[in-house]
Amino acid sequence: MAAHLKKRVYEEFSKVVQIPHEEAPAKKLRLSKPSKSAALHIDLCKATNSTDALQYLLHFARKPVETESVEGVVRILLEHYYKETDNSVRLKIASLLGLLSKTQGFSPDCIVDDAINTLGNEKSHQVLAQLMDTLLVIGTQLPESPAVRQRLIEVACKHLSDTYFGVRNKCLQLLGCLGMVDTPLTKDNEGLGISLGGVRDVQSIISDYFGDQDPRVRTAALKAMLQLHERGMKIHEIIYDQACRLLSDDYEQVRSAAVQMVWVLSHLYPESIVPIPSSNEEIRLVDDAFGKISHMVSDGSWMVRVQAAKTLGSMLQVSPQFLEQTLDKKLMSDLRRKRTAHERAKELFTSGEFSSGRKWADDAPKEKLDTNTVNLIASGACGAFVHGLEDEMFEVRIAAVEALCQLARSSASFAEKCLDFLVDMFNDEIEEVRLQSIHVLREISTHITLREDQLDTVLAVLEDSSRDIREALHELICYTNVSTKECVQLALLELLKNLNKYPTDRNSVWKCLKFMGSRHPTLVLPLVPELLSTHPYFDTPEPDMDDPAYIAVLVLVFNAAKSCPTMPALFSDHTFRHYSYLRDSLSHLVPPLRLPGNGLDLVDSRCGLGSVESAQLFLQQSLNRVSTIQNLEAPGAQDLLDFTIRDLRRLGELQTELAGAADFCATYLRCQLLLMKALQDKLWNMAVPLCLKQNVTATAAAQQILEETYKLEFLYSGLDSRQVATIHHVRLQAKALQLILTARTRQGLDSLISSCEKFLQDIESFQRLFLTELPHLQDSFVDKLLELMPRLSSCKPVELVKILQTTLRQSGLLQLRLPEQIHRATATIIEPTGESDNPLRFTTGLVVALDIDATLEHVQDPQNNVKVQVLYPDGQSHVIHPKPGDFRKPGPDRHRLITQVYLSHTAWTEPSQIEVRLLLAYSSSSTSLSSPSKLGWSDSIDSLPTPETAVEGTIPFSKPVKVYIMPKPARR
């Protein structure tokens, strides 16, 4: 065997050497590049003792191996393996074999036999374990060959009886990863006598090891079973009992895996019936599993508790009575039943008397309990969540809160029940838990109506000093339903208190009241006179219009009035005036109202219900009108474009839903306008030296168009490939224009040639990228160019430029199809406000932290793309990349950036302003790869590297904010 191997190795050895032989002169070769395997062989031969050999191997493992030489290397390693007596070296060789068989492009089926052979003589358990691992790697590399798998499985089964746990572990792992997914049929074919090999079902073999003496092996067995499940094998129901037994194992990792196993089975066989031990009753399996996992929530190990709590959340099929048990905790005191605080609160509420709580005996226990009925140890699901929510580790609490959320979303009655517990969590000591429970309550708030006492607890959190908590709570209040007008009043009062305490919450509080008003118009109605402090006889003084609290009240009232037509009758004169003022200044918070008389109707008439449709229509018409532009003379066409752009811009301002689309169209048209202007007749008919000035403007225009196209492509979300194609088309036109202009001004032929080549590449890549879109681009610039392509690629640059010039001037405007949903990425910097006159003073050479708070809308992947730019008055600019953790996601398509940027500068004589703005970074290569149109041309991508060099840049997309700073010279 060894001799044979050696022969093969030497064959391989010489072969590898010979490959370069054919290409290069022989003498050079030997000196220059010895093959990997050759080098290794020499090294290993040189190694006098095992330590050296190990060193060589370690050194060798650091470098990658070319695909061609892998087999040779493997042979050498194997050869050495047989010779080696030291365990650690053999172990390393075994692990190297595994690594090597992972090499891309190498098919390890040729070394399967050898690898299995090595197992036979191996005495060291560690090495055996490593070899099994190698086999596992080989097996996973060869998913297509069942024969190899079958062999590997047999080998694994043979070694399952090893005395070393590591070997058993690896064998089980191998079985889990490679075990036949289709139930093995070999059982009948081969008779029962042989107990090895794939004769028995893989599952039953694995499940034998559930009772192994080593906990690590038990865990591995469970994991292997889970692996089988993941690979799509249907786990037998018998496993359930065994898994349940493992739930009470002594070792946490076993219990943890068992929880998972039970969970998997409960999903596979939710409806089967299992008997309850020690009674004749039977229950559904999913209920039983739910009870058992609930039990694990009070396990001794917190890892298991987290696992169990998480798992509970996804068991939605459980029956309601079991579900509700999880929140059940009977209280008793001196053997008498006691009501929980929750029950007391509820009772007080229903009896109409609000919590007095003054008496000591208030919670005195009432009924005498029968000692037999008290169930002290929670059997089954009893009180699982009560425990989970009170757990010591916040990880468990968070998991429990999340699980509650998932379960509550699917069951309204459960949501109602868990409300009290969630509200309690608002008082948790760890902020994350509080935040999480507020979010959860928001998510399930569609199911519930808050009682007054609950609302009270919820609102108490409004005074929290953490901004995140307050904002989450505002968000929650936006979505909650309350039952009485007192609740509304209470909420308003608390919100106003909050506003008073934390004036920065202004916007958030107003928004909150907006939803509050529109949700509960009838509850607000009786409060209106009080809220607006009107009096039936006397005129009350007019409140201060700039008072945020007053605005808050008005926002509430106006939003309620929207669906309550009787309300405006209660308004006093100044309220109407304030309405029109607020409608203008805070139009996003104040809805249009149909007010009687007073000539205030005019606001509403335009914004009727159909306004969106009509605006859409208008947009479409404008675009259609533009498409007739070909027929117009130049000045007329330009005017038309000018007007259309103006119209669209205004439309965008008026109709927020269409702002994105309108803006997009306007920008596109502006590009066209610029192009058109640049292509004016005059310029091109003149001799080059005469039109330098025009040349300059045209160059500037081309540059601008390029910039605009990048904005078009990256600032707007919701574009489909057709629009992207159109944008790229414009960009191509701009590039053509640039090329022509360079050709006209500069005389250097070399640079011209290179730019021509680049342009041709651009065209090619365009063609490749938008192959599917080409039919839509008929008669366009590109279309014409592509027709001429063979000629273009062969002709001289000067000729090319000429062709370009004519085609460019002949080509018309490409009709822009209106995309479905377009959103423009926007950012607003809330803080700093830029209003402060007090300069931020700091000592030169040190830094000062500037808090930045901004909202981003429709930004994809802000963590990577959004940057903060700081512009100093001397023209210096810094770009700061905020941490990913600084971005929060309060809602879909919305992000919030709360970060700090550090400023520093040399000393100034007096304070001056710096500008802070947000930038959107883009890179054309990454976006085009990830865009949905990728599918169409993915095949072509693999073969060719994208010639279009990745264009990277940034677009400023927020209004700059000025901050007054003053770096003082350091005092000595």
Partner 1 sequence: RSCILVSIGGKNIMLDCGMHMGYNDDRRFPDFSYITQNGRLTDFLDCVIISHFHLDHCGALPFMSEMVGYDGPIYMTHPTKAICPILLEDFRKITVDKKGETNFFTSQMIKDCMKKVVPLNLHQTVQVDDELEIKAYYAGHVLGAAMVHIKVGSESVVYTGDYNMTPDRHLGAAWIDKCRPDILISESTYATTIRDSKRCRERDFLKKVHESIERGGKVLIPVFALGRAQELCILLETFWERMNLKAPIYFSTGLTEKANHYYKLFITWTNQKIRKTFVQRNMFEFKHIKAFDRSYADNPGPMVVFATPGMLHAGQSLQIFKKWAGNEKNMVIMPGYCVQGTIGHKILNGQRKLEMEGRSTLDVKLQVEYMSFSAHADAKGIMQLIRMAEPRNMLLVHGEAVKMEFLKGKIEQEFSIDCYMPANGETVTVTTNPSVPVDISLNLLKREMALGGPLPDPKKPRTMHGTLIMKENSLKLVSSEQALKELGLNEHQLRFTCRVQLQDPHSDTDTLHRIYTHLKSVLKGYTIQHLPDGTVMVESIVIKVSSSTEDPNTKVLLLSWSYQDEDLGSFLSTLLKKGLPSGLC
Residues that bind partner 1 (CB under 8 A): 161, 163, 211, 213, 250, 298, 300, 329-335, 338, 340-342, 357-362, 371, 374, 376-378, 386, 389-394, 421, 424-425, 427-430, 457, 460, 463-466, 501
The tokens for 964 are 């007054």
CB atoms < 10 A from the CB of 550, how many? 18
Closer residue to partner 1 (CB): 287 or 464: 464
Residues 6+ apart with CB under 8 A from 336: 365, 366, 367, 368, 369
CB of 458 to partner 1, least distance (A): 11
Q: What is the end-to-end Cα distance of the chain in Å, rounded?
A: 84
Question: What's the chain's length in residues?
Answer: 972
CB of 342 to partner 1, least distance (A): 7
Give the pairing of strands 848-857 and 840-843: unpaired
* DSSP, res 381: T
CB of 243 to partner 1, least distance (A): 17
| Own/partner pairs, 591-600, CB within 8 angstroms, 24+ separation | 591/518, 591/558, 591/559, 591/562, 592/562, 593/558, 593/561, 593/562, 593/568, 594/565, 595/568, 596/568, 596/569, 600/576
CB of 395 to partner 1, least distance (A): 9
Residues 6+ apart with CB under 8 A from 243: 210, 222, 258, 261, 262, 265
Closer residue to partner 1 (CB): 97 or 167: 167
Q: Which residues pair with 869 in a beta bridge?
A: 879, 917
CB of 335 to partner 1, least distance (A): 5
Closer residue to partner 1 (CB): 597 or 885: 885
b/e map 243-277, b = 16+ CB within 10 Å: bbebbebeebbbbbbbbbbbbbbbbbbbeeebeee
Residues 955 and 690: their CA atoms lie apart, in Å, by: 36
Residue 895 φ/ψ, nearest 5 degrees: -135, 160
Closer residue to partner 1 (CB): 5 or 369: 369
Closer residue to partner 1 (CB): 454 or 869: 454
Alpha-carbon distance values, 835 to 838, 916, 962 (Å): 9, 13, 8
CA nearest 428: which of 416, 441, 447, 446? Answer: 441
CB of 276 to partner 1, least distance (A): 16
CB of 407 to partner 1, least distance (A): 18
Residues 327 and 416: their CA atoms lie apart, in Å, by: 11
CB of 21 to partner 1, least distance (A): 56
Closer residue to partner 1 (CB): 371 or 747: 371
CB atoms < 10 A from the CB of 743, how many? 22
CB of 401 to partner 1, least distance (A): 12
Closer residue to partner 1 (CB): 333 or 656: 333
CB of 431 to partner 1, least distance (A): 9
Closer residue to partner 1 (CB): 329 or 776: 329
Residues 169 and 214: their CA atoms lie apart, in Å, by: 10
Residues 114 and 395: their CA atoms lie apart, in Å, by: 48
CB of 129 to partner 1, least distance (A): 17
CB of 290 to partner 1, least distance (A): 19
Closer residue to partner 1 (CB): 490 or 570: 490
Residues 385 and 312: their CA atoms lie apart, in Å, by: 10
Closer residue to partner 1 (CB): 92 or 168: 168
Closer residue to partner 1 (CB): 504 or 765: 504
Alpha-helix residue ranges (DSSP H) falling in 411-484: 412-425, 431-444, 452-460, 467-479
CA nearest 763: which of 723, 808, 721, 799? Answer: 808
CB of 755 to partner 1, least distance (A): 59
CB of 390 to partner 1, least distance (A): 6
CB of 415 to partner 1, least distance (A): 19
CB of 358 to partner 1, least distance (A): 6
Alpha-carbon distance values, 417 to 358, 386, 731 (Å): 27, 12, 60
Three-class secondary structure of residue 35 per DSSP: coil
Closer residue to partner 1 (CB): 477 or 965: 477
The tokens for 795 are 């002709």
Q: Where are the beta strands (DSSP E) in 313-376?
A: 331-333, 336-338
Closer residue to partner 1 (CB): 5 or 496: 496
Closer residue to partner 1 (CB): 389 or 487: 389
Residues 414 and 323: their CA atoms lie apart, in Å, by: 7
Residues 6+ apart with CB under 8 A from 745: 688, 695
Closer residue to partner 1 (CB): 299 or 708: 299
Closer residue to partner 1 (CB): 393 or 846: 393
Residues 92 and 327: their CA atoms lie apart, in Å, by: 54
Alpha-carbon distance values, 484 to 444, 452, 491, 526, 719 (Å): 20, 8, 11, 11, 46
